[in-house]
Structure 1
């Protein structure tokens, strides 16, 4: 993305979350602020009529990954975690919906995108959450650990990291630098999504990758990093993560629907949770 412009893909994801609220599957992920934060850019219920199957699957994946991340966060809070970092937050609304009075939230994003989000909040009359600290960071040029420490994150305490819709856009050097830092915080946990390379997919998966990759590249935000699940798991263990849960898109679909896994097509998208327990 260009340094002076907010992320176009962040807007697209926010519109999918908002559109989902009108859908028959809305109970999967309830978000009363999804449309409000978008103001005039919010979708209408009529747009659901224009969804094709590919768009529907992407919307459901976006909603499902948010739901799973927040379910895993709830478990972490029960274990005593009191710090949440949303990496590449975009127009994510967790900080507005935060149900945990004693949990502090740090939102990290590219400076242009974060400034845009704060303007969206102001323009639509939504107050910035008092328990949230905004931390502008360019992942390719700045160290998020340094910026978060300056913002008040307590690195000696376990932290839950939500990192959705970001990893495919980053270099592997930036990705593993961030993961190494998280792994260095005992008791901390990260949830992120990633995509398998074309050669790992069947024909339908390759077609889906080609379609979505072309769309994000067209707005100047190409996917540049892909991972093979087994190799990624090995790398995470080498960094010190000892609790790893990796769900492919078919497993996510089966979890939230009545369709058996075998009937749910794998698009090559994954959601992974990695924790260093001690």
Structure 2
């Protein structure tokens, strides 16, 4: 029996939030879960590229279950099955996710699947990129006397899509900061919907690409310039953009 099995219940699954990207922004509990795991399911977000700084990867089975935007896709059902398969075989399994497992991470689906199959599952929160990435770029999401709320939304589906649950008109009227994740491709449609719903084209915006890493880039623009700025700078995922008065505050300070 391995040390991991001696310390943990056989068949245990950890859903680990890996944070916004930099390896040292994972929580201590998350790092310990990776160290105790025998099998790690990773994707392209979070600290996957520097996993060896968090645990001895040579002693573990590493399985890539990435879901690349408009690219390679590992079916969610396959991921669910892998968790159960390895846990039923007696392994301690860590499912490493970018950001927080329950913020657009489908973590609850994996949690429910484990419980339905009799697998003990522990969720370890992570630092969500929706908050951390703007913060590390010097952008507050709230500011006393300026804005008292913020809203985090997925931009994966365009405004008006039948499967979208985002009320862009309500967001435009809210007066709060809008943080969009997974929204690079739909930036133009999102900007148009917000402007049509009362937000001024001059509303400040900030785009942060690969936030928290040495490759971080920050671009400032207005809402009316959002799509053009994305295109001119060839912005790609992962990227977060902030819409609202706070996007005009702060000093760009790439993490490093």
Q: Normalised by the size of structure 2, how large is the TM-score?
A: 0.35
Taking CA–CA contacts closer than 8 Å with sequence separation of 6 or more, which of the two structures ends up with the larger relative contact order? 2
Structure with the largest fraction of strand = 2
Structure with the largest fraction of helix = 1
Q: Bigger radius of gyration, 1 or 2?
A: 2
Q: Normalised by the size of structure 1, how large is the TM-score?
A: 0.33
